[in-house]
Chain A
């Protein structure tokens, strides 16, 4: 198990911004420009998409890569699959690698579903015999049996993606690279995809998983890497890396220009400060506003968000029956909400707004303002804790 499947050794990749000269007419002025400026002209447009990245993935391991858009995640995948070559550094891939980067990339719109399965299969590196052996399984998985002889240009985008994923999911590589493809198709198909993914994982295939769904990364991958601006910002056990990412994301302070600013959101419990709680624990959330100018009828709105920034819970001073306040210039206003965290295990955020209800005007927002973690026993999973109790259990044997 300690064998290395993937290794990146001080890998850097340089890209160009803007247009590249792809006709002679563009090239000639560019070259003369370069000549006149002494060869420094092009350098300005270059940037490092990846900067000195080192990582190792062991055989059979599931490794996650997370980070904001443009951090270089897809560039790593393209380097590993051999489409791009690194500017500096070296990389090692042991065994065959298959990438679920862009499902259905090899489809030809004029060919039928059946023809595209064969074509896409061989593009992904399957032998004809392999495809034939797995053909029925692929069709079954896609659920598109009745449209098999229809050209894929007549497919809906969902059908297209489903067929693409079905083919890709039946390739047997040593290393599987997955880039945000689990979100195709409807609910039933998504569940199928996740199931297939865990099947692949349990069969001992090395998986490199790139996703914005932190929950999926936390569930599937034991170790992860956080990329920010092409640099490795964190590398280690997934939960630690995810915490680091969340801490960075919520640390993104903007400069408010409105008349009133949501300055801070603070958490406290009777037992002291902290961001780790047990399910059902009671916490106090203090929101602080700073008024620059005088502003009328300010209410404070509190948001509770889950990992994917979905609003789970929302309340406000005004909706709780408290009249809005008029703030003087330079005034500091604080209010504290007391909440019971009936949440299941996971990572959550608080956010706050300064809002005026009668004219529906949002003065300022700070979302997400604060990250916290809730731990629970193994009996609850999901977003909320409904405090389940088993009150009845019956068995009937022998009745039909």
Chain B
């Protein structure tokens, strides 16, 4: 394992080049360019606001600026998670040429896919920051949690991406499975709602490793409280296990990539 990591480190420049390639290629020949990075999460946010507004109207609860802030703050990392995972899963298959012809550590592909999505995330976060200032969510010391929670999100998505990209190389079903799951995952993930809405069933929802992270981000930014530490710990362990297991699966099957793709 250590040897693999050392090799990956030797190829860090290639990781940077490929990340940069994904970013360049993505918005070439498009009029809106990098604005797409804002547009996508904006759609999710709008849908969320609509759902939340309807729910508030039905139950008679108040619909305020905090609700909008809460949805936006969850939607942007969720959009990052979805697009990274989708992109990473197909990253080996869409680079057949390089996988079968040139030697380098192939985990660079899913990693570059995730890293390139971070740029979109950063752009969307910039816009989000403006929105949060406008609706005056305020600041607190709990904001220091944000980078930690985002790092966990990146580790989780990288681990899943590494595992899924290698599986999709052997079985194309994985790609379609990921598509289907990601399309409906928004219903099972607290993006448009708080898990507290479900009372004692909230624990089941929090088993989804993304849920504690989104809940946590909402807690520290909008509610100015500490995240639920136990659940964040759960997500951390989950993310690290996925990354380790996914990476070792990837490295073990890597020699068979070229003849099975």
Contact = CB atoms under 8 A, between A and B. Distances in A.
A173 to B, nearest CB: 12
Interface stretch (B84-92, B99-107, B118-126, B149-157): B99-107
Given A83-B258, A122-B13, A108 B101 contact: no
Contact of B98 (A81, A105, A111, A125): A105
A123 B98 contact: yes
A122 B20 CA distance: 12
Contacts of A16: 259
Contacts of A84: 255, 258-259
Contacts of B258: 78, 83-84
Contact of B102 (A24, A27, A85, A106): A106
A337 interface: no
Nearest to A121: B17
A310 interface: no
Contact of A83 (B14, B21, B25, B100): B100
Nearest to B100: A83
Contact of A115 (B24, B29, B97, B102): B24
B260 interface: yes
A83 B24 contact: no
B21 A15 contact: no
A125 B25 contact: no
Contact of B29 (A27, A106, A110, A122): A110
A20 interface: yes
Interface in B13-40: 13-14, 16-18, 21, 24-25, 28-29
Contacts of B104: 123, 125
A102 B101 contact: yes
Contacts of B172: 22-23
Interface residues on A, range: 20 to 34
Contacts of B97: 102, 105-106
Nearest to A21: B171
A48 to B, nearest CB: 14
Contact of A128 (B13, B24, B100, B259): B13
Contacts of A81: 102-103
A111 B102 contact: no
B101 A83 contact: yes
A119 B21 contact: yes
A119 to B, nearest CB: 5
B17 A82 contact: no
Interface string A178-222: 000000000000000000000000000000000000000000000
B24 A111 contact: yes
Given A15-B259, A22-B171, A27-B171, A106 B98 contact: yes
A157 to B, nearest CB: 15
A141 interface: no
A83 B171 contact: no
Contact of B14 (A22, A24, A27, A122): A122
A285 interface: no
A22 B170 contact: yes
Interface string B249-261: 0000001001110
A78 B28 CA distance: 33
Most buried by B among A101, A115, A128: A115
B221 to A, nearest CB: 37
A163 to B, nearest CB: 16
Contacts of B14: 122-123, 125
Interface string A105-140: 110101100010011001111011000000000000
A99 interface: yes
A132 to B, nearest CB: 12
Given A22-B171, A123-B102, A85 B255 contact: yes
B151 to A, nearest CB: 26
A386 to B, nearest CB: 45
A108 B25 contact: yes
Contacts of A115: 21, 24
Interface string A3-32: 000000000000110001011110100000
A367 B258 CA distance: 38
A78 B100 CA distance: 9
A92 to B, nearest CB: 15
Given A119-B17, A122-B14, A105 B171 contact: no
B101 A110 contact: no
B138 to A, nearest CB: 43
Contacts of B255: 84-85
Interface in A60-108: 78, 81-85, 99, 101-102, 105-106, 108
Contacts of A78: 258
Interface in B145-202: 170-173
Nearest to A49: B259
Nearest to A78: B258
A169 to B, nearest CB: 15
A110 B173 contact: no
Most buried by A among B13, B97, B258: B13
A276 B29 CA distance: 64
Contacts of B25: 108, 110-111
Given A123-B104, A124-B102, A108 B260 contact: no
A67 B173 CA distance: 39
A118 B171 CA distance: 33
B173 A23 contact: yes
A108 B26 CA distance: 12
The 8 nearest A-B residue pairs measured at CB: A82-B103, A122-B17, A85-B255, A105-B101, A110-B28, A83-B258, A81-B103, A122-B14
10 contacts: A23-B171, A25-B173, A83-B101, A84-B255, A85-B255, A102-B97, A111-B21, A111-B28, A118-B17, A123-B102
